[in-house]
Structures are given as C-alpha cells and as structure tokens.
Amino acid sequence: MGNDHSVNLENDWKELITELVKEVKYGNITLIIQDGKVIQIDKTEKLRL
C-alpha cells in the first residue's frame, strides 16, 4: 500500500464488505485473495421459506 489509490481501494472493499454483511440474512460472502490483496468479492444469498 504505497499510494493513496491503494488506500482508497482498501477502504472501498472494507466498506462494501460491511454493507454486504448487513444486507445478507442467510448466505455467504467470499473474499478472493491474490498476492495478499482482495481481488474479488462473491455474495451468495439464500431465501428461507
């Protein structure tokens, strides 16, 4: 994390994960990590009947 752009991206994904956790009632949030950095976030939500 040497520059402002990297810091902004890190803050962005942290905020996104926080929002996703608040939204999902039942499901998964998966972080894909490459070289120590988050490169993808997957959300799977289940509907309970």
pLDDT in tens, 1-49: 444 555 566 778 888 889 999 999 999 999 999 998 888 999 999 988 8
Distance CA 36, CA 14 (A): 15
Supply the range of the domain harboring residue 16: 4-45
Contact 28, 3 (CB under 8 A): no
Distance CA 42, CA 5 (A): 22
The reported pTM is 0.64
Tally of domains in the chain: 1
Distance CA 13, CA 26 (A): 21
